[in-house]
């Protein structure tokens, strides 16, 4: 089954693609069909300009898909790629020719400086962020989304380091939903969760995802302390 899916993607040119390829393909279409497959609540906070919300968590979303011409490319995104991959398989199985998923989702789009809609004012300005990382001790910034399952799984790991390094490590949590302007300006977040370690305002280490997070962060802190 997996091999069959891969073969379909290879034949159509569809699949998960990087931000620049995704944006370039959009720009080539006079009226690109962009689907935001997150919840209505997420969509209302921020979304790719001209994207239409198709909440795949709600029954009946298939009716919205029937209005799409199958011969035109479909561009889809979410937070990560779990929801988009599921929908992409469904669309391809239903006869759509091309379905492109944005790698890294909405965080990648905003973090790469592409145009977006937002209904929120940034809770943290760039100047405020600079003050937060202006410390004599290392500062770990956890860029997350409250709608992200992986981000929730990472929280106990981050909390454990905050406890072990009490007084020697500052932790700052930034929800990308509430701070799109900051994410766009920093240009370091292209998926969530993303972790960035600063020391004296200098970016020393960063990581996206939760695989080997505990060990990678431990090694990064060892290097920082050894350099002092």
Active-site annotation, residues = 148, 151
Q: How far is CA 32 from CA 50, 59, 169, 189, 212, in A?
A: 8, 25, 46, 25, 38
Residue given tokens 């490319």 in the structure block: 73
Q: What is the DSSP string of the chain?
A: -HHHHHHHHHHHT-EEE-HHHHHHHHHTSSS-EEEE-S-HHHHHHEEETT-EE--TTSTTTHHHHTTS-TTS-EEEE-SSSHHHHHHHHHHHHTT-S-EEEETTHHHHHHHTT--EEE-S--SS-HHHHHHHH--SS-EEEEEE-TT-HHHHHHHHHHHHHHHHTTTT-EEEEEEGGG-HHHHHHH---SSSSEEEEEETTEEEEEEESSTTHHHHHHHHHHHHHHT-
């Amino acid at each position: 089954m997996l091999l069959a899916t891969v073969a379909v993607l290879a034949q159509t040119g569809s699949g998960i693609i990087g931000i620049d390829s995704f944006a370039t393909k959009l720009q080539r279409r006079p009226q690109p069909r962009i689907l935001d497959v997150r919840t209505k609540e997420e969509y209302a906070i921020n979304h790719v300009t001209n994207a239409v919300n198709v909440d795949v968590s709600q029954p009946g979303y298939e009716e919205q898909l029937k209005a799409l011409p199958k011969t035109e490319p479909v561009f889809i995104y979410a937070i990560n790629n779990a929801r988009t991959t599921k929908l992409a398989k469904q669309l391809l199985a239903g006869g759509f020719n091309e379905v492109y998923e944005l790698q890294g989702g909405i965080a990648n789009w905003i973090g790469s400086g592409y145009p977006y809609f937002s209904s929120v004012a940034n809770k943290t300005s760039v100047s405020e962020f600079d003050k937060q990382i202006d410390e004599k001790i290392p500062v770990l910034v956890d860029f997350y989304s409250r709608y992200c399952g992986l981000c929730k799984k990472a929280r106990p790991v981050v909390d454990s380091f905050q406890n072990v390094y009490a007084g020697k490590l500052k932790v700052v949590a930034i929800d990308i939903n509430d701070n799109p302007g900051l994410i766009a300006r920093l240009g370091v977040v292209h998926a969530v969760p993303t972790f960035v370690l600063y020391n004296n305002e200098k970016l020393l280490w960063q990581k996206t995802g939760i695989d080997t997070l505990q060990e990678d962060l431990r090694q990064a802190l060892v290097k920082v302390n050894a350099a002092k």
